[in-house]
Structures are given as C-alpha cells and as structure tokens.
Amino acid sequence: MTGTFTTRTVDVTAGSAETMHDLTNTCSAFLREVAHGRDGLLNVFTPHATSGLAVIETGAGSDDDLLAALREVLPADGRRRDRHGRAGPGHDHMLPALVPPHATLPVVGGELQLGASQSVVLVTTGRDVPDRQVRLSFLG
C-alpha cells in the first residue's frame, strides 16, 4: 500500500493579544481537498516560539480557562531574563513546553476524528508577532 503525503502552510492573524484561534474548520477543509476519503494522520505544526497547538473544547469557557491558567503558570511579571540579564518575554517563549507546537490527529474516511466538543486551536501568548503560520500535513 502506498501512502501519500500532502502539506500546506496557512496564515493565521492572531492579533496583538494572547488568543486562541480555532483551526478546526481549516483542518477539515484541507482534508476535504487532499484526503479523498482515505484514512491517515493529520499533523498540525506551528513554527513560532510563542505559540502552541491544543485540542480543547472552545466556547464553553475552557478556552478562557486555559489562557488564565497559562497566565498563572507563566506570569509576565519580568522575572525571566534573557542571556544579557534584561527582562523580556521569557514567559511567552516557555509556552511550547506546556502547549506543544504540534498535534497529530487521526483521519478516518477523509474526516478528522475529534470528540463532539473538541477543537484544534492555535494558542498564542506572544504579542510581538500578530501573523502566524501553521503547517498542515496529511499522510494517508
């Protein structure tokens, strides 16, 4: 059986505030174009030091709760220093250790297999880069 690999980069405008951007519809549209009813895996990756990807319920408060929890765990209070001893956005650069920059998700019959309340979201705490990229890759 021969598999196919298809990849595409999509641009996301995250803005200048911490945010969660729902990518579920973007992922599903990509799979409709490339999966052609096949089973496989969708890998989602963001190449930014201050972003991560989560599979989480959105719209019921969990998204706000996640951002609040990240503010508690990674406070922007200036305690983190760069290699020159200056206060900086070190808290934002620690985000991918807690919310990884990748997710690999099952695809069955060409469709993303998420639970009823699950969404794929880009989590961004860095305020310095309003435009982000996300790479979608299907292997099936």
Q: What is the pLDDT of residues 77-116, one digit of tens each?
A: 777 666 666 666 677 888 889 999 999 999 999 999 999 9
The CB-side HSE value for 29 (13 A sphere, CA atoms) comes to 6
Helical spans, DSSP H, in the chain: 24-34, 62-73, 90-93, 95-98
Q: Which residue has the higher pLDDT, 85 or 63?
A: 63
pLDDT at 94: 83
Query: What's the token pair of residue 90?
Result: 């070190």
b/e code 31-69 from CB counts within 10 Å (16+ = b): beebbeebebebbbbbebebbbbbebbbeeebbeebbee
Give pTM, 2 decimals.
Answer: 0.89
pLDDT at 1: 45
Q: How far apart are CA 38 and CA 18, in angstroms?
A: 36
SS3 66: helix
**In this prediction, what percent of the chain has a pLDDT beyond 70?**
90
Range of the domain at 74: 5-139
Q: Number of structural domains, the chain?
A: 1
The CATH number for 71's domain is 2.60.120.460
pLDDT at 132: 94
Q: Which residue has the higher pLDDT, 126 or 136?
A: 136
Q: How far apart are CA 137 and CA 27, in angstroms?
A: 10
Q: What is the pLDDT of residues 5-31, one digit of tens each?
A: 999 999 999 887 888 999 999 999 999
